[in-house]
Amino acid sequence: MAETGLSKPVKLKADLAAFCGVAELPRATITQKLWDYIKAKKLQAKTENGKAEGAGKFIVADETLLKLFKVTKVTSKSTGKVTDFTALKVGQTINMLQLASVVGANLA
């Protein structure tokens, strides 16, 4: 049976492949690896652009995550809203719900 949806392996762009250690992974696994890293480094904040506290709905960009976040500039097909992290800096945050946009922007 062929894998589909979130379990189907996808090709990763160079920075995400370096982060994950492989060139192809399912989206669900990519997201899990990102969350494992975020939790291990305590890169969550309770407020937008707040200090990393280890909990909260915002993800604080460190040097490693910034490489992945900065390639994100996508337009929602349903709302037309643009998610643009190209000017993000270390210490700034993204909402955890925007992590799917980051993953999508880092696929080859």
Domains of the chain: 8-105 (1.10.245.10)
Of 100, 91, 39, whose CA–CA distance to 61 is shortest? 91
What is the spatial distance between Cα 79 and Cα 100, in angstroms, rounded to a whole number?
16
Q: Residue 77 has what pLDDT?
A: 86
End-to-end CA distance of the chain: 24
In the structure encoding, which two tokens stand for residue 9, read together? 């392996």
10 Å Cβ neighbour count for 19? 18
* DSSP for residue 13: P
pTM for this entry: 0.89
- The tens digit of pLDDT for each residue in 17-71 reads 999 999 999 999 999 999 999 999 999 999 999 988 988 999 999 999 999 999 9
In the structure encoding, which two tokens stand for residue 87, read together? 């000017």
